[in-house]
Amino acid sequence: MKKILALILALCLSLSLAACGGNNAPQDQNSPAGDDPATTTAPAQSAAVEEGGDTESDVAYVQAQGTLYVGITNFAPMDYKEAGSDEWIGFDADMAKAFAESLGVNVEFQEITWDYKVQELDSKTIDCVWNGMTINDEVTAAMAVSDPYCTNYQVLVYPADKAAEFEGLTSLEGLYVAVESGSAGEDAAEALGATTVPVQAQSNTLMEVQSGNSDAAVIDVLMAAEMTGEGTSYADLAYSLNLNEAQGLESENYGVGFRKGSDLVDAFNEFWAQAVADGTVLEIATTYGLQDAVILE
């Protein structure tokens, strides 16, 4: 079975290579290979770089390209657009703009399909995943992740009028729980015995609960705070039950993901420490109501 799959993939691949070979020849000139002075001195470094990583400096690559591509999903309050506006704003978006400026490059926000974030990074269609990404084993196995910059935990969201049934639960057995496919919330819900209903995005889980298709949802507390309760589209939903606590786990941390072995991680950590020190982080976090969640150490 695996062989057949590999064969088919190889055939598709050869097809696609043939296709782009014809189409995109001029594009290759933009690639950093060889013509960048920084790369010619790289061999000494390359031994230290993990397998799967590039032998060249990622910072140099991004600077040669002139643009930092930031992979995001539409996720308030981290990356979102205001009504009638075409500009990406939010805590992550604003910080990303500042980071790009520190590198001396432009920033482009690219909406991605969350399931393909690693492929997006590795194929260099984006340079980082910066979208309230919870640091877990899967993430650290596939990407180079920055120091944590924000805390988070998973919460259970349910209809407010059924609050009595849900508060204080220690097991989710027998419940249909909507989660974002591949998210930390999915792991947490499964660990507590829920029958999970994976959907495309965290916000879609709220639709599931609102429409009665699922009993409850597990999402990030930041998102739950932003999107449920009075003054939101989901006024009838409430949340409680810290699932991290219920499992006896520490809170989660948000981090920014880069390609494996990328030196953009160091550049980011340096930038962030600087931004914490000069108060930029707290200022922007306060704008989006995240002053309690952001890590200022």
Residues at the interface with other proteins (CB under 8 A): 8-9, 11-13, 15-17, 19-21, 23-24, 27-28, 31-33, 54, 61, 65, 67, 69, 74-76, 80-85, 108, 110-113, 116, 119-120, 122-126, 200-204, 206-207, 210, 227, 233-234
Closest approach, Cβ 178 to other proteins, in A, equals 12
Q: Which of 94, 99, 40, 43 is nearest to 68 (CA)?
A: 99
Shortest distance, position 33 Cβ to other proteins, whole Å = 5
d(CA 174, CA 218): 15
Please state, in angstroms and as integers, the Cα–Cα distance from residue 285 to each residue in 237, 292, 294, following that order.
25, 9, 7
Query: Would you say 200 or 286 has its CB closer to other proteins?
Result: 200
Minimum gap (Å) between residue 236 Cβ and other proteins: 11
155, β-bridge pairs: 219, 242
> For the residues of 169-217, what is the DSSP string, one character each?
-S--TT-EEEEETTSHHHHHHHHTT-EEEEESSHHHHHHHHHTTSSSEE
Beta strands across the sheet bearing 176-180: 195-199, 176-180, 216-220, 154-159, 237-242
Considering beta carbons, is residue 116 or 176 the nearer one to other proteins?
116
User: What token pair was written down for 176?
Assistant: 């249909």
User: Minimal distance in Å, beta carbon 255 to other proteins?
Assistant: 22
Q: C-beta of 282: minimal distance to other proteins in Å?
A: 25
Other CB atoms closer than 10 Å to residue 221's CB: what's the count? 20
